[in-house]
Amino acid sequence: MASITMNHIVKKYGDGFPAVNDVTIDVADGEFMILVGPSGCGKSTLLRMIVGLEDITSGDMLIGDKRVNDLAPRERNLAMVFQNYALYPHLSVYENIAFPLRLAGAKDSEVDQKVRAAAETLELTEHLQRRPANLSGGQRQRVAMGRAIVRDADAFLFDEPLSNLDAKLRGQMRTEISRLQKKLGITTVYVTHDQIEAMTLGDRVAVLKRGVLQQLATPRELYDNPANLFVAGFIGSPPMNFMPATVEGTTLKLPFGEVQIPADKAEKAADRGLLIAGIRPENFAEASAPHARGVSEANTFEAKIDVVEWLGNETYAYIPFEAPPEVQSQLETLEKELDGETMRTQLVITLDGASQVREGDKVRIWMDGTRIHLFDPETTENLTVDRAAAGRIPQLEASAGATST
């Protein structure tokens, strides 16, 4: 077991495009680190640089205290689970799991003991003599993991291991991976584009956009204190609502009305002109709902509900609004970066499952002004971020470094 340190890692391809640009991440011994981002953000490239399948253009890659930039994959002692499993179809499940041990020249008795132990852990014992072609998707996934855990590797690397499974199986395997990692206590780097996997599995999560690290923090920190519009929009489902806003004193002017925000937040955003306000769907409630009683009347507004989606435990209500062109264009860019489609600007709010709201109703909505984030429409950075509880934000470090020198 060992820590993994990435120091100013850069990967440039032949055309000079940096697929990974100056990424610094430290993975502590035994930590579960997630690399997350939309497709093309460089997360898989970064993982392949850790394992040695991709050359590093510049920067240092350290496993433990050893610089491994120039070592071949087999000399790095890492185990990897590939997105498409990459099982050896000509070998039985037993020989697939035994493959790394056989390469290392282990004795037959040792191989047998270790393979059976791994198969026991992954509940594969009854399938040991079968071929990968005769296994289900979930079983293949487990064989791929068996091949990883059978060796005493310094770290596990997962490259989107669950993306080929159906939704139900994905949930089960997610729990299984989490349990396995906690049991073995082994350093793990896990690449995914799925923010739910990122939130549920990771000790810490590194959010990447176009090869640049946006924020490196615990799931809770990412959720509560996103560094910028991109992180805020990426983490959470349904996503955070963004709307145009201006600050006057402690009053925030929104398309629906005015809300009071805490003084410290208002101060950070003072005299900035037009801003983008971000607030999560669950920070709204019906003013008449039980838990919102007694809240400040100032933070309520009247709105006409356009569409209602009832999920049983909760209800999503959609309220369209008009955004000024400068905010609109920024939101469109954001949607593109998140692999999404540009749609109408609308507010999504989560209401109680017991809510009787219907489409077309005019409802009084309460909003939690303390949970609002304010973003600069030019730089997209979060002006109201609590830096003590936001993990690492490389962009802020860079600007702080520039001003201090």
Q: From CA 32, how far away is CA 190, in angstroms rounded?
A: 8
Residues making contact with other proteins (CB under 8 A): 51-53, 72-74, 78-80, 82-90, 99-100, 103-104, 131-137, 140, 147, 151, 164-165
Angle between helices 108-121 and 93-103 (to 10 degrees): 130
Q: With respect to other proteins, which residue has the nearer C-beta, 169 or 289?
A: 169
Q: With respect to other proteins, which residue has the nearer C-beta, 84 or 172?
A: 84
Q: With respect to other proteins, which residue has the nearer C-beta, 131 or 210?
A: 131
Q: What angle do CA 84, 88, 89 make, to 5 degrees?
A: 95
Q: With respect to other proteins, which residue has the nearer C-beta, 169 or 295?
A: 169
Residue 360, judged by CB atoms within 10 A of its CB (0-12, 13-18, 19+), counts as: exposed
- Residue in the block written with tokens 């593109």: 336
Amino acid at 377: P
Give the 3-state secondary structure of 318-378. EEECCCCHHHHHHHHHHHHHCCCCCCCCEEEEEEECCCCCCCCCEEEEEECHHHCEEECCC
Q: What is the nearest approach in angstroms of other proteins to the Cβ of residue 185?
A: 21
Q: What is the nearest approach in angstroms of other proteins to the Cβ of residue 35?
A: 17
Q: From CA 381, how far away is CA 375, in angstroms rounded?
A: 6
Q: With respect to other proteins, which residue has the nearer C-beta, 35 or 98?
A: 98
Q: What is the nearest approach in angstroms of other proteins to the Cβ of residue 96?
A: 10
Q: 3-state class of 114 per DSSP?
A: helix
Q: What angle do CA 106, 157, 62 make, to 5 degrees?
A: 90
3-state helix, strand, coil in the chain (%, to 5): 35, 30, 35
Q: What is the nearest approach in angstroms of other proteins to the Cβ of residue 83?
A: 8
Q: With respect to other proteins, which residue has the nearer C-beta, 52 or 369?
A: 52
Q: What is the nearest approach in angstroms of other proteins to the Cβ of residue 147?
A: 7
| 205, 34 Cβ separation under 8 angstroms | yes
Q: With respect to other proteins, which residue has the nearer C-beta, 47 or 245?
A: 47
- Rg for the chain, CA atoms, rounded: 24
Q: With respect to other proteins, which residue has the nearer C-beta, 85 or 366?
A: 85
Q: What is the nearest approach in angstroms of other proteins to the Cβ of residue 226?
A: 34
Q: What is the nearest approach in angstroms of other proteins to the Cβ of residue 75?
A: 9
Amino acid at 341: E
The values of phi and psi at residue 67, to 5°, are -75, 125
- Residue in the block written with tokens 């109408």: 344
How many CA atoms does the CB half-sphere of 117 hold within 13 Å? Answer: 12
Q: What is the nearest approach in angstroms of other proteins to the Cβ of residue 68?
A: 13
- Burial code (b: 16+ CB inside 10 Å, e: under 16) for 196-206 equals ebbbebbebbb
CA dihedral sign, ordered 164, 166, 170, 176: negative
Q: With respect to other proteins, which residue has the nearer C-beta, 151 or 193?
A: 151
Q: With respect to other proteins, which residue has the nearer C-beta, 70 or 248?
A: 70
Q: From CA 118, how far away is CA 94, in angstroms rounded?
A: 10
Q: With respect to other proteins, which residue has the nearer C-beta, 103 or 398?
A: 103
Q: What is the nearest approach in angstroms of other proteins to the Cβ of residue 51?
A: 6
Q: What is the nearest approach in angstroms of other proteins to the Cβ of residue 272?
A: 49
Two tokens, residue 308: 């209602």
Q: What is the nearest approach in angstroms of other proteins to the Cβ of residue 155?
A: 11
